[in-house]
Amino acid sequence: MAYSPLARKLAKKEKEILKKYGLAYLPEAVVEMFDPHSIAPNPQKTYWLIRNITVRLYPDGKIEIEKLGKSEYIPKELAETLTENGTPYIPVGFVNLYDTKLEADLNRKPITEMPEKLEVEGAVIPYGANILETLILTVVEKYSKTKHGASETDIIYALTTPPPAGTGWLKLSAKLIKAVKQKLEQLTWKGILTYNPKTMMYTLTPKPTTSTIERD
């Protein structure tokens, strides 16, 4: 990939986080846990397919979820099939060691604080975030402070030109230019960026600070 040097450095940082704090990020995993929605004192074991998950690993083998994205309940048979096909399997809270939640709870340990963002080559990247997406948003935000946004050319220039003119985060290549174009389209489609066809500028889509509740 065009940004593989930065990716390797970020991977090194994440390995340091794993070693120091026991934290690991996975884009997708099959999770086995005691039913989080049950009000019973000893809920049944359930299986979930979870995306964008950050887990904490303890030296004694226990695993706990720190953050997660979209999750959906799946039957045990599907969980076993996904695991056999290579999807990471995560047993949370000693569910693979203890038959009841009470036994697992008795083995809980206090949580160690960890940084939510990593700084690599001057770029601040949220733990587990997409590298290129984060760098593009950072550039657009900086340009928006002095101009009315950033064009595609501005973004590529800022990402690849060495300081002080740019950031020098990435190496200019045809692959990088294509990746930036695709990512800009995705971010615009998601509503994270706003594109002005008249000025050919991208800006961060403003988020409302308040919500309006209307009566029926």
Interval 108-126: pLDDT, tens: 555 555 556 655 556 666 6
Phi, psi of 170 (to 5 degrees): -125, 165
Rounded to whole angstroms, the Cα distance separating 11 from 124 reads 14
Helix axes 152-160, 174-190, angle to 10 degrees: 130
Does residue 173 surpass a pLDDT of 80?
yes
Q: What is the average pLDDT value for the chain, to the nearest integer? A: 78
Question: Domain coordinates of the chain in residue numbers?
Answer: 20-105, 130-204
Q: What is the CATH number of domain 130-204?
A: 1.10.10
Q: What is the dihedral of CA 162, 167, 169, 173, to 10 degrees?
A: -60
Paired tokens of 128: 């587990």
pLDDT, greater one: 17 or 185: 185
Split at pLDDT 50, 70, 90, the class of 7 is: low
When mean pLDDT is compared across 39-48, 79-88, 90-99, the lowest value belongs to 90-99
Split at pLDDT 50, 70, 90, the class of 188 is: very high
Average pLDDT score over residue span 191-200: 90
Split at pLDDT 50, 70, 90, the class of 208 is: low
Rounded to whole angstroms, the Cα distance separating 1 from 7 reads 9
Helices (H), 98-151: 101-105, 131-146
Rounded to whole angstroms, the Cα distance separating 176 from 182 reads 10
**How high is the pLDDT of residue 64?**
78
pTM exceeds cut of 0.85: no
**How high is the pLDDT of residue 182?**
92
> Hey, how many other C-beta atoms are within 10 angstroms of the C-beta on 63?
20
**How high is the pLDDT of residue 8?**
72
**How high is the pLDDT of residue 36?**
76
**How high is the pLDDT of residue 128?**
66
Nearest to 48 by CA among 27, 36, 30, 25: 30
**How high is the pLDDT of residue 169?**
81
**How high is the pLDDT of residue 207?**
72
When mean pLDDT is compared across 44-58, 115-129, 175-189, 195-209, the lowest value belongs to 115-129
- Phi/psi region, residue 21 (left: phi>0; alpha: psi -120 to 50; beta: rest), is alpha
Does residue 214 surpass a pLDDT of 60?
no
**How high is the pLDDT of residue 124?**
66
29-39 pLDDT tens trace: 998 888 877 77
124-153 pLDDT tens trace: 666 667 788 888 888 888 888 877 889 999
- Is 157 exposed, middle or buried (CB count within 10 Å of its CB: 0-12, 13-18, 19+)? middle
